[in-house]
Amino acid sequence: MSNQNLSCYASSRISLCLKVDVKPIENLNISKIKIAYINLLIQKKIIYVLFPIIFFSCKTHKEIFEKGLTYDNFRNFVPVDPIEYDDKIQLSSQNQMYNKEIKLLSTDEILEFLNNETVLVSIGKVTAEGGISYTPITISAKHSSYKVTMDYMKFATLPQVDDTKKFIGFNRVGVGLRLITLLTTNEAGINIGDLSSIGIAAKAGKVKGTMMIEVVGIKSKEVTTLLPLPSEINQTTIQNAMQALATIKSKIYDKDTRLYPQVMAIKLDTTYSKRVSPEKDKQISVTTIKNANMENALILQVGNNKMIGNRYQLAQEYENDAFKLLFSRQIDEAISKFEECETKYPGYHSVYDIINILKAQKSQLSNSDSAKWRELYARILKDYSWKLSPQIINKLKEEAK
């Protein structure tokens, strides 16, 4: 670089131009630019400076989407498939508190209970594994698939505990309207959090997909006739859907409308992964934490449904029987019993993962004297012991020695 030369450095967001009086520098890099810039400030030899900013690395739009922290740190309520809430709730009347089964409430009592209203937009990106990762970012990436859920809820937020009385999060119980759009984007930069933007993008061929409407916990003949059928996304169908939603919403307070509160959204206790982590407890694995979050999400969604609660208890019995067979080293019978448990209550504890391990090692475990049995017990103890009873855990420790 020669004297009186204009030195320019540009990044993806800003640019800095300096007309300086410096000596030639070989192998110029960012660190040297920073040092040279500071020296120039001290020596007051700057002729002019545009945007005097010391450069640091900047993350691109694509990196934000692919980093994963966006999804891991998502803190909003997540929409779930509605399941009827079945439990007692607390109400007040004439300065007195009383408990009553929610299915026995009158419409007026339900409306008193559901004293909050909100409109929630949740954007989930479809992962390579077929799952949904929710993100606060409303701008699309190129060639990606999304599930965008727009909810109107009349709800109450309720804290939830597990069977050990530990707090695991909140669920939103209520009635409302849900508009779901399943999108595939052809270009980046589309605002998929706004219906009008989606309609414009669909017209331009930048996005394609389908749209459907769900009426959650609202029952009347008029509502049924107003409900539009699923259709492709365009400006006309979006406009028709919004008109239908507005009309259905107005029917909530009609005397002929019956309300059946549902669990519509859940929010996990976000402090769990901070309180329990592999760094703090070597007995806890990342898989264990992941399984715990999955099970807690399931409890938040279905924990107050008595019919499902009975299935939960039955699954617990199947799991205990399966481990008894496992400790007797009866591999075929154990697999069969674990499969019964998974069928009765999908996602129960770590049963699904244990089934996969047993099937993968079935030939080696067919010999009851094989050393693989000890390795199996040790692996289950380390990675898949979440929510297991103390008796099973102690037995695993004993067999793993």
Q: What's the pLDDT score for residue 305? A: 56
| pTM assigned to the model | 0.56
Task: Tell whether 72 is covered by a domain.
Answer: no
Determine the structural domain holding residue 9 and report its residue range.
5-50
Tell me: the pLDDT tens digits for 113-140? 999 999 888 888 888 777 788 877 788 8
- Rounded Cα–Cα distance for residues 393 and 388 (Å): 7
pLDDT in tens, 247-301: 999 999 998 899 999 999 988 886 655 555 445 444 555 555 566 666 677 677 6
Say if residue 304 is in the same domain as residue 334.
Answer: yes
Give the whole-angstrom CA distance, residue 79 versus residue 266. 7
b/e map of 363-398 (b: 16 or more CB within 10 Å)? eebeeeebeebeebbebbbbbbbbbbeeebeebbee
Contact 259, 175 (CB under 8 A): yes
Q: Check residue 45 and give its pLDDT.
A: 41
pLDDT at 120: 84
* Predicted pLDDT of residue 347: 77
State residue 273's pLDDT score: 54
Q: Indicate the number of domains in the chain.
A: 3
Verify that 25 and 162 share a domain, yes or no.
Answer: no
* pLDDT, position 55: 37
Tell the burial category of 121 from Cβ atoms under 10 Å away from its Cβ (0-12, 13-18, 19+).
middle
| pLDDT value at residue 284 | 52
Strands, E, within 189-273: which ranges?
207-216, 218-219, 231-232, 258-259, 262-268
- Same domain (yes/no): 99, 189: yes
Is 67 inside any structural domain? no
Tell me which residues of the chain have a pLDDT lower than 70: 1-75, 230, 270-295, 298, 301-310
Burial of 129 (0-12, 13-18, 19+ CB in 10 A): exposed
Shared domain check, 264 and 376 = no
362 and 395 within one domain: yes
Are 140 and 258 in the same domain? Answer: yes
